[in-house]
A and B are shown apart, each in its own frame.
Chain A
Amino acid sequence: MTRFLSLARLWALLVKETIQMRRDRLTFAMMIGIPLVQLMLFGFAINNDPKELPAALVAPTQDRFTRAMVSALELTGYYRFIAPAATAAKAEEMITRGDVVFVVTVPSDFGRRVERGDDPSILIEADATDPAAASGAISTLGTVATEALEREAGLPQGSGPALSVVVHKRYNPEGITQYNIVPGLLGVILQLTMVMMTAMALTRETERGTMENLLSMPATPLEIMLGKVVPYLGVGAVQVVVVLVASKAIFGIPMVGHLSVILIGIFVFVLSLVILGYLISTVARTQMQAMQLTFFFFLPSLMLSGFMFPYRGMPGWAQALGEIFPLTHFLRLIRSVMLKGADVQTVAQSMAALLLFVLLLSLAALMRFRRTLD
């Protein structure tokens, strides 16, 4: 115990780190401010039920029923037909390019079927790369269109032919809802702030020249690492409380699972993050480099973890790559526990993966740590 770790020395390191952290007002404000700002920004940007989404209409016979339906759709406020008379090919091109979010296809026998009393059908193709954005528009569709048709045909409500709306979610079959995003945000916010702050920890000592002094005194690599990492665990705890309370109070995210499982999962995840940050700070020579390395790690993990794009929708190689980020495992864990009420056994695999990260990253950091100034 005393060979690698002395509690008295660790205490001295902890006190010093905490004082320095407290005295660096700007960074401290950032640590509390960033989670809030991000949560509001992302949360509301995604929460925002977008209206007036551009749409294309493919309707070979533009009869009065088609027109009635289209104007009814426009009245919902969700749809804006920027190409009201597109060919199928043209519409395909537009949705591929991203010019429109929806393509509404009305078959040529649509009017005839309504008049004959046959059940007509229409096809809605939705660009669901941002599925939350399109969900409102899709859900209103069925009733609005049916009512419009009944009015136009002069029939009392509920007696008209049953309109069947075929919804085809393109590009992203796994419809992520709002609930999916806020727990994910918890992971992303923690990742950004925790990794960045700890990545600065050692580099700051090197840059300010205090490293020479620290190394000339008897503190072991383990003590120095713990001294740097533990205070940030405390900061992480504050962030977690802020985000959890906000997601409950502002976004009304349900917490189906056990709070203890949620907290244990978060703890292991944060631990892996601060140790990753510390590892970065043993590699980087300047704070600038530490920053760059953080982002170098941050961006791909955002893309490949399943936060931005549904994990199951990614190609095999991307999924394999995604496995190397703690965020991927944390997202799986937190979504299952928070939203689906999974218990410890169900998420054991993700938990084990996170623990493995903690172990491997600690070993790497202790090995990387330079005991000399070379």
Chain B
Amino acid sequence: MSEPAITVTDLTKRFGGKTVVDRVSLSVEKGEIAGFLGPNGSGKTTTIRLMCGLLQPDGGSGRVLGHDIQTERGAIKREVGYMTQRFSFYEDLTIEENLNFVAGLYRMPGRRRVVRETLQDLGLYSRRDQLAGSLSGGWKQRLALAACVMHRPKLLMLDEPTAGVDPKARRDFWDEIHRLAADGLTVLVSTHYMDEAERCHRINYISYGTLVARGTVAEVVRDAGLTTMVISGSRAGEAARRLEGEAGVDQIAPFGTTLHVVGRDGAALRETVARVAEETGTEAAPAETSLEDVFIQLMGDAQDNMS
């Protein structure tokens, strides 16, 4: 009973000579909302496809809902709802026809009723005869999401489900995800939004095919071991120029009239910031490190590794 919804070990995938997913191991507990983060091209989509049985791994193994990802693809497909990053329903079918198609493929009982309810929940009932291709980007996302939860899957794999969706719809979407998770559904969701990452129970950060950080948001921030200082004052811009390349300074990011300065070496950072603040007549104060600061740091580290 306590078997996790997803366990993969040393999952590896190569395209040509390039290793796109490199010995990734992760596990997601039942009922958990797991965030999947990482820069563009880091291998999130590829990892998700491997776990859905849509790609043949070059190494490693895994079980999804207790089924082997290489030998029990059929069972996985029946119990998992996968929402692709790119809209991949039929643009030349209407909204209703697309949903009917999906319902038919899953052999859902009471197909008509389920489709009608889904349309009503979505708020698309009056537009059901509209071609899916003519929907706006955000509405396409909402349709795709509705289509992949229609067959009541036990696990949802969502690949950037809220890209291009407005804030209100995004909030509704996350409320819905939490409601589903409370009922026992497991969700793995990839995203580039920090606020969404913070709404996940746990996050997994992947970079150049390698899993580099995992845990709750607090754990990931703590494990990064970063120190953050905020500089404020009218001459913050000048302070930024002076801080460039100084000891202990890894990131400088302006936020309106304030400046966030982040570094791994806390003592050196505090000293440098104090000096520059005095020179420019600005105020310096310690601050909380944000998840975004951590990710930017991780990305920079990965690039250093690459070169």
User: In the bound complex, do residue B88 and residue A210 qualify as a contact, i.e. CB atoms below 8 Å apart?
Assistant: yes
Q: Is the beta-carbon distance between A9 and B104 smaller than 8 angstroms?
A: yes
Interface residues of B in 92-109 (CB under 8 A from A): 92-93, 97, 100-107
Contact A16 B78 (CB under 8 A): no
B54–A219 touching, CB < 8 Å: no
Q: Are B102 and A6 in contact (CB under 8 A)?
A: no
Chain A, 308-344, contact with B by CB distance < 8 Å: what is the 0/1 string?
Answer: 0000000000000000000000000000000000000
- Interchain nearest-CB distance for A32 vs B (Å): 19
Q: Which of B90, B91, B105 contacts A218 (CB 8 A)?
A: B105
Complex interface: chain A residues within 8 A of B102 (CB): 217
Flag if A216 contacts B52 (CB, 8 Å): yes
Shortest Cβ gap from B119 to chain A (Å): 17
Q: Which residues of B contact A20 (CB under 8 A)?
A: 90, 92-93
Question: Across the two chains, which residue of chain A brings its CB closest to B70?
Answer: A372
* A171 within 8 Å of B (CB atoms): no
B10 to chain A, nearest CB (A): 19
Asked if A29 is at the interface (CB within 8 A of a chain B CB), the reply is no
| CB proximity of B94 to chain A, nearest CB, Å | 8
Q: Give A73 to B49 CA distance when docked, in angstroms.
A: 78
Residues in A neighbouring B90, C-beta threshold 8 A: 16, 20, 210
Q: Are A373 and B88 in contact, with the CB atoms below 8 A? A: no
- B56 an interface residue at 8 Å Cβ cutoff? yes
Instruction: Please pick, from B55, B78, B105, the residue contacting A12 in the complex, using a CB distance under 8 A.
Output: B105
A34 to B70, CA, bound (A): 45
- Cβ contact within 8 Å between B97 and A19: yes
Assuming A8-B104, A15-B101, A218-B78, is B93 touching A212 (CB within 8 A)?
A: no
In the complex, what's the smallest C-beta–C-beta distance from A205 to chain B, in angstroms? 9
When distances are taken between beta carbons in the complex, the residues of chain B under 8 Å from A213 are: 82, 84, 88-89
CB pair A12–B100 under 8 Å, yes or no, is yes
Is residue B77 contacting chain A, with contact meaning CB distance below 8 A? yes
In angstroms, Cα B74 to Cα A25, docked, is 35
Given A218-B106, A372-B54, the answer on whether A209 and B86 have CB atoms closer than 8 Å is yes
Cα A16 to Cα B97 in complex, Å, equals 7
* Contacting pair B54 A217 (CB below 8 A): no
Residue B73 lies at the interface, judged by CB distance under 8 Å to chain A: yes
For A, the interface residue count at a CB cutoff of 8 angstroms equals 28
B251 nearest CB across to chain A (Å) = 36
With an 8 A cutoff between CB atoms, is B62 at the interface? no
In this assembly, does B161 line the interface, its C-beta being within 8 Å of a C-beta of chain A? no
B161 to chain A minimum Cβ distance, whole angstroms, is 14
B window 69-86: CB within 8 A of A: 73-74, 77-78, 80, 82, 84, 86
Question: Please, which residues of chain A bring their CB within 8 A of the CB of B87?
Answer: 209
Measured CA separation A255–B102 after assembly (Å):
47
A212-B54 contact in complex given A12-B105, A219-B105, A371-B73, C-beta closer than 8 Å: yes
List CB contacts (< 8 Å) of B6-34 with chain A: none
Task: Please tell me if A11 contacts chain B, counting CB pairs below 8 Å.
Answer: yes
9 smallest beta-carbon distances between A and B, as pairs: A12-B104, A213-B88, A216-B82, A218-B77, A8-B107, A16-B101, A217-B105, A218-B78, A209-B88
A-B contact pairs, 19 of them (CB 8 A): A6-B107, A9-B105, A9-B107, A15-B100, A15-B104, A23-B92, A208-B88, A209-B84, A210-B88, A210-B89, A212-B49, A212-B86, A216-B82, A216-B84, A218-B74, A371-B73, A372-B54, A372-B55, A373-B49
The residues of B with any CB-CB pair to A shorter than 8 Å are: 49, 52-56, 73-74, 77-78, 80, 82, 84, 86-93, 97, 100-107
- Chain A positions within 8 Å of B, measured between CB atoms, are 6, 8-9, 11-13, 15-16, 19-20, 23-24, 208-213, 215-220, 371-374
Given A13-B101, A19-B97, A371-B73, output 18 extra A-B contacts at Cβ < 8 Å.
Answer: A6-B107, A8-B107, A9-B105, A12-B100, A12-B104, A13-B104, A16-B101, A20-B93, A209-B87, A210-B88, A211-B88, A215-B54, A216-B77, A216-B82, A217-B77, A218-B105, A220-B74, A373-B49
